[in-house]
């Protein structure tokens, strides 16, 4: 099976959004909502609602979180739950069901408007996406982020294509990203992408500048490339193995996600393709079994409905 690398999917996603702009997300209609998602969906939610009061939860703590706010809900002070799920399946189904049982108005952000969760949510915001490998979720969540930031995908693409990769980029064993503090909620997305693409084979680390100061680089190593984005690096990592990439003036979360995923894709291209070797077995065997579901996941997730 032909599995494209992540950098290829980043560029394809940007080409798609140039032709098919995402809808506009107006978060002003929500007052102190629960924002719920699994994996990088909750990180996307934290980006979308970063400038608004919200209560964030994922598949591990939504039940306990909503229970803790029972009295506040009963008083009518919290009325909304925004559930984010590219597929509208798996955990998002019970998350919507639980929110409705708590008498919350449910809004689903998804790329699958005919999904199980979409059928029971009170309202659905439909995002378009391209076909891409399972777990990548590049076009799915990027579309949501662009709908909030208003960044132009053609400008992001031009920026990515202008980045000149430093000599020896493919020779490292570890890659550490350091980003400005405002991009806190992008760092777990980068780490998740490293887990999915490389597992134990290649280390991908990501920190904000503030977090990086907390003993994250006690051990400088000539096998780790420290990539700082939109800031100077005078302290982190081996001085001979640093790469500083300036950001465009109007860059926001969409640019940061596209850039870091693009660079992870370049690492993927430079190494043995661990992801392509293992993803089919994951999708057809223990991946769905962990959810207690029969059948298999799509190795290449179809484009949006």
Exposure on the CB side of residue 139, measured as CA atoms within 13 A: 28
- Give the residue among 131, 66, 138, 57 at the shortest CA–CA distance from 91: 57
Exposure on the CB side of residue 133, measured as CA atoms within 13 A: 22
**pTM of this structure:** 0.93
The per-residue pLDDT for range 26-42, each reduced to its tens digit, is 999 999 999 999 989 99
**DSSP label at 217?**
T
Percent of the chain with pLDDT over 70: 100
Residue 227 near residue 175 (C-beta atoms within 8 A): yes
Predicted pLDDT at 118: 97
Look at residue 1 and tell me whether its pLDDT is greater than 80: no
**DSSP label at 285?**
T
How far does Cα 92 stand from its chain's mean position?
16
Predicted pLDDT at 305: 78
Give dist(CA 17, CA 231) in Å, integer: 28
Mean pLDDT of the chain: 96
pLDDT category at 9 given cuts 50, 70, 90 is: very high
Predicted pLDDT at 293: 80
Predicted pLDDT at 39: 86
**DSSP label at 21?**
P
Look at the block and give the residue holding tokens 């887990």: 195
CB atoms under 10 Å from CB of 300, counted, come to 16
Predicted pLDDT at 216: 97
pLDDT category at 294 given cuts 50, 70, 90 is: confident
Domains of the chain: 24-126 (3.40.50.10490), 153-278 (3.40.50)
The per-residue pLDDT for range 108-146, each reduced to its tens digit, is 999 999 999 999 999 999 999 999 999 999 999 999 999
The per-residue pLDDT for range 39-90, each reduced to its tens digit, is 899 999 999 999 899 999 999 999 999 999 999 999 999 999 999 999 999 9
Residue 242: phi and psi, rounded to 5, are -125, 145
- Give the residue among 259, 223, 196 at the shortest CA–CA distance from 13: 259
DSSP 3-state of 59: coil
Residue 145: phi and psi, rounded to 5, are -65, -45
- Structure tokens given for 41: 């969906």
């Amino acid at each position: 099976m032909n599995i494209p690398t992540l950098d290829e999917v980043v560029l394809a996603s940007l080409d798609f959004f140039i032709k098919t702009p995402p809808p506009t997300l107006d978060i002003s209609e929500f007052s102190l909502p629960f924002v719920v998602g699994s994996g990088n969906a909750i990180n996307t939610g934290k980006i979308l609602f970063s400038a608004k009061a919200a209560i964030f939860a994922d598949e591990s703590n939504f039940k306990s979180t909503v229970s803790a706010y029972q009295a506040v809900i009963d008083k009518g002070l919290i009325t909304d739950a925004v559930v984010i799920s590219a597929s509208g399946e798996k955990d998002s189904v019970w998350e919507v069901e639980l929110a409705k049982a708590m008498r919350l108005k449910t809004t689903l952000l998804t790329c699958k408007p005919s999904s199980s969760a979409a059928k029971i949510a009170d309202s659905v915001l439909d995002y378009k996406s391209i076909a891409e490998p399972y777990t990548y979720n590049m076009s799915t969540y990027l579309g949501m982020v662009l709908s909030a930031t208003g960044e132009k995908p053609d400008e992001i693409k031009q920026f990515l294509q202008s980045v000149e990769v430093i000599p020896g980029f493919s020779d490292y064993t570890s890659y550490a990203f350091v980003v400005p503090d405002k991009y806190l909620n992008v760092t777990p997305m980068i780490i998740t992408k490293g887990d999915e693409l490389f597992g134990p084979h290649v280390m991908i680390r990501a920190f904000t500048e503030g977090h990086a100061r907390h003993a994250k680089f006690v051990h400088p190593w000539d096998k780790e490339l420290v990539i700082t984005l939109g800031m100077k690096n005078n302290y982190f990592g081996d001085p001979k193995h640093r790469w500083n990439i300036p950001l465009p003036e109007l860059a926001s979360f969409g640019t940061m996600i596209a850039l870091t995923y693009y660079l992870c894709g370049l690492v993927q291209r430079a190494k043995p393709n661990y992801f392509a070797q293992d993803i089919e077995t994951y999708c057809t065997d223990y991946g769905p079994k962990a959810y207690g579901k029969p059948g298999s996941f799509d190795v290449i997730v179809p484009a949006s409905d």
